[in-house]
């Protein structure tokens, strides 16, 4: 029995180029500020906000945003395995640092980060693997 071939998905971009340009720099800034706040909040453990706590939060935000921009620029150029591994390393390191600010031992921080990174790798590898053809080219 013959079946009709599936039609390609034609997704229409509803945002203008200006919105995409703004989002390109706003996303790392917002994510960095959220991450910095999270680090500072974990470090102070409900205590008073100090100057060192604010400094830790802003430095963490700046470092997170800078590395996020670098990973976002580099990752699409890599094959699916390395692409997933780069995002996994970024996520694992970021989570491990946040978790270490709670006062947990280094061993526990490393194990928690590895667990989160392993789950993240499985999800990303599956995502990138199912969106490439046999030659490794991304299907858009």
pLDDT at 77: 87
Pairwise pLDDT comparison (31 vs 83), residue with the higher score? 31
Q: Domain ranges for the chain, please list them.
A: 21-77, 79-140
pLDDT band at 47 (very low <50, low <70, confident <90, very high): confident
Please say if the pLDDT value at position 134 is more than 80.
no
Check residue 79 and give its pLDDT: 84
CB 44 within 8 A of CB 50: yes
- 138, pLDDT greater than 90: no
User: What SS3 state is found at 138?
Assistant: strand
Choice between 17 and 66, residue whose per-residue pLDDT is larger: 66
The pLDDT assigned to 128 comes to 83
Taking the whole predicted model, whether its pTM rises above 0.85 is answered as no
């Amino acid at each position: 029995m013959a079946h009709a071939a599936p039609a390609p998905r034609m997704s229409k971009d509803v945002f203008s180029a200006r919105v995409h340009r703004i989002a390109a720099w706003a996303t790392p800034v917002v994510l960095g500020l959220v991450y910095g706040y999270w680090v500072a909040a974990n470090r102070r453990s409900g205590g008073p906000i100090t100057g060192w706590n604010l400094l830790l939060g802003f430095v963490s935000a700046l470092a997170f945003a800078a590395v996020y921009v670098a990973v976002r620029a580099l990752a699409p150029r890599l094959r699916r395995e390395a692409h997933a591994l780069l995002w996994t390393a970024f996520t694992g390191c970021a989570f491990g640092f946040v978790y270490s600010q709670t006062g947990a031992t280094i061993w526990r921080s490393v194990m928690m980060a590895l667990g989160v990174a392993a789950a993240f790798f499985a999800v990303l590898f599956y995502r990138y693997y199912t969106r490439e053809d046999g030659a490794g080219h991304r299907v858009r």
